[in-house]
């Protein structure tokens, strides 16, 4: 299973999202073609209701703990409840361009 498939599957199972987007943004960074190192995830789930942003991100990081300790180098996380997602008109922010910093070994 690719890293992308594995991220999608885990988020789907954990959060039962009403919207889920897993974008491989590795090509925006200084890594070989075909890499699966930089991802952006947008998760819309009622499970985020009443939770702080830090708590939500901890939930996502925890779910992807295995990937984060392996191939996954950067993870942009955007979490919304259904209501917040409607208010944003179903748009999550764009990720920044790479500036060349290295990865922790």
Partner 1 sequence: MDVLDRIKEQVESNPVIIYMKGTPKMPMCGFSSRAAEALMQCEREFAFVNILADQEIFQNLPRFADWPTFPQLYINGELVGGCDITLELFESGELQKMVHNAVDNAAG
Contacts of 43 (CB under 8 A, 6+ apart): 11, 15, 17, 19, 20, 60, 77, 78, 79, 80
Of 34 and 100, which CB lies nearer to partner 1 in the complex structure? Answer: 100
Element (H, E) at 66: helix 65-68
Tokens 């392996």, located at residue: 70
**79: number of Cβ within 10 Å:** 23
Over the window 29 to 48, marking each residue x when it contacts partner 1 by CB under 8 A and - when it does not, the resulting string is: --------------------
DSSP-derived letter for residue 94 is P
Q: Which of 34, 50, 89, 99 binds partner 1 (CB under 8 A)?
A: 99
Of 18 and 30, which CB lies nearer to partner 1 in the complex structure? Answer: 30
**What are the backbone dihedrals phi and psi of residue 57, each rounded to the nearest 5 degrees, phi first?**
-65, -35
Piece of 2-10, 15-23, 43-51, 57-65 that binds partner 1 (CB under 8 A): 57-65
Of 1 and 54, which CB lies nearer to partner 1 in the complex structure? Answer: 54
Does 93 participate in binding partner 1 (rule CB under 8 A)? yes
Does 9 participate in binding partner 1 (rule CB under 8 A)? no
Whether the CB-CB separation of 31 and 57 falls below 8 Å is answered with: no
Where on the chain is the footprint of partner 1 (CB under 8 A)?
A: 53-54, 57-58, 61, 65, 68-69, 74-78, 93, 95-102, 104-105
């Amino acid at each position: 299973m690719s890293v992308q498939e594995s991220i999608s599957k885990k988020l789907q199972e954990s959060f039962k999202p009403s919207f889920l987007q897993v974008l491989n943004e590795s090509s925006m960074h200084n890594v070989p073609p075909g890499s699966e190192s930089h991802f952006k995830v947008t998760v819309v789930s009622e499970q985020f209701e009443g939770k702080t942003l830090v708590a939500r991100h901890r939930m996502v990081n925890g779910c992807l703990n295995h990937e984060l300790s392996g191939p996954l180098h950067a993870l942009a996380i955007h979490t919304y409840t259904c209501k917040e997602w409607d208010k944003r008109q179903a748009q999550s922010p764009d990720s920044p361009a790479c500036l060349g910093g290295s990865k922790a070994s």
